[in-house]
Amino acid sequence: MSESTSLLISRVTAHLPRQDLRQMLRLVRLLFKLSCSSPYRKQIFTELPEVARFDPGHAALMMGYDFHLTNDGPRLIEVNTNAGGGYIAWLSEQLAGKTSPNYLSNRYQQRLLQSFLREWHDFSGGHRPLARVAVVDENVEQQPLLPEMTGCCDWLNQNGIDAHVASLEDLEVQSDGVYLRGEKIDLVYNRHCDFYLETPLMSELKDAYLAGQVCLSPNPFAYGLLADKRRMVLWSDSLSLDGLELSPLDKQLLLEMVPPSVLLSEQNRDEIWSQRKKLIFKPVTRFASRGVLMGRGITKKRFADFDPETTLVQKVISPSVETSADGQEFKMDLRLFVYRNHLLGVGARLYQGQVTNMRTEGGGFAPVRIV
């Protein structure tokens, strides 16, 4: 991977208690197990669009599970497919010069490479090696995380896999698959955030995906199972969990670690308004804090504009705080980068303000010390 980037990296070290990491991993593994279970799929499939009910036979690259640390232990904030920042988190460790096994290191690269190879094997049946990858997004030259995508391609090329960053507009879908500049693509690492492939730009790629002509990862199936924020309504509801054949300990873990979450459409709006200072409002299919509003800061007019069917209402879980050597305080989010139920690495985002951002002076992705 490249040694330099214009992306925001903090020189403040983030600290993660080992027991909290273990608890976070317990939840990640439970959610993956749940996503593979028939009762769970049967319960949520009625809520998913058709494209998300298509099982492509493989998992999803770079899942991200975001947590806040509290005095009572870690709490899940959200789950993401195509989680950004893995390369930046890796680079923050390199710049910090950390060599402890508690840090992201060569293990991260090895595990990430295995995830690409496993995706291709599960899709193709292992009949031939993974040869060509396209890392794609819309208008890639304008993407803030372009250095990350470029770094990923450089690293894949170093490992013998022909990889290119491309805009979705550059892909050509033919009868036998997806091509980039005349070369057939085996695997599309999709960084676009049209998670259900609903926009016209994604229509041809969607057709190729449903026809089994290309390995698309991450994909709508994984997103619908785990990353659509509406899943947090189920995970935090005791009665709904009763139908999922969970052990008492597994059910308790979910109810402890997933903040109470509801759809606005299912609640009395007057009651939600009266409780708003303890709540956060999230659009269910957006990402990177886009459209996320803390209840204590919204006006009645803005509240009235919320679409009740697509607004998740969640109990506020305040982030922990890291303090720099000069006394500057930063809020902290922790992200586990995961493939299936295997940890790839850990990233921390330090910021100031109401919600996570990558604009805070002195903030950004930070090296993580397990303590």
CA distance 302 to 369: 40
Q: Which pair of structure tokens corresponds to residue 144?
A: 């803030």
DSSP 9: B
Which residues have CB under 8 Å from 108's CB, separation 6+? 86, 90, 337, 344, 345
Q: What pLDDT is recorded for position 363? A: 84
CA distance 221 to 51: 7
CA distance 349 to 331: 8
Q: What pLDDT is recorded for position 96? A: 76
Peptide bond into 218 cis (omega under 30): yes
Distances (CA, A) of 214 to 168, 176, 235: 14, 9, 32
Terminal C-alpha separation, the chain:
27
Q: Which of 266, 356, 256 is nearest to 313 (CA)?
A: 266
Q: What pLDDT is recorded for position 154? A: 94
Q: What pLDDT is recorded for position 291? A: 76
Distances (CA, A) of 132 to 1, 117, 121, 175, 187: 17, 11, 13, 18, 7
Q: Structure pTM? A: 0.92
CA distance 191 to 201: 14
- Long-range contacts (CB closer than 8 Å, 24 or more residues apart) made by 283-286: 283/229, 283/310, 283/311, 283/312, 284/228, 284/229, 284/230, 284/310, 284/311, 284/312, 285/195, 285/196, 285/228, 285/229, 285/310, 286/193
Q: What pLDDT is recorded for position 2? A: 42
Q: What pLDDT is recorded for position 8? A: 80
Please give the distance of CA 274 from its chain centroid, rounded to a whole number: 31
DSSP 260: P
Token match 């049967």: residue?
42
- DSSP codes of every residue in 150-204: HHHHHHHHHTT-EEEEEEGGGEEEETTEEEETTEE-SEEEE--S-TT--SGGGHH
Backbone Cα Rg of the chain: 20
Q: Which of 362, 357, 346 is nearest to 103 (CA)?
A: 346
Q: What pLDDT is recorded for position 83? A: 83
CA distance 354 to 357: 9
Q: Which of 254, 182, 193, 208 is nearest to 30 (CA)?
A: 254
CA distance 285 to 263: 13
Q: What pLDDT is recorded for position 301? A: 92
CB atoms inside a 10 Å sphere around CB 266: 10
Q: What pLDDT is recorded for position 67? A: 97
Which helix (H) or strand (E) segment holds residue 273: the answer is helix 269-274
Please identify every stretch of the chain with a pLDDT value under 50, giving residue numbers as ranges: 1-5, 99-104, 288-289
For residues 221 and 186, the answer to whether their CB atoms sit within 8 Å is no
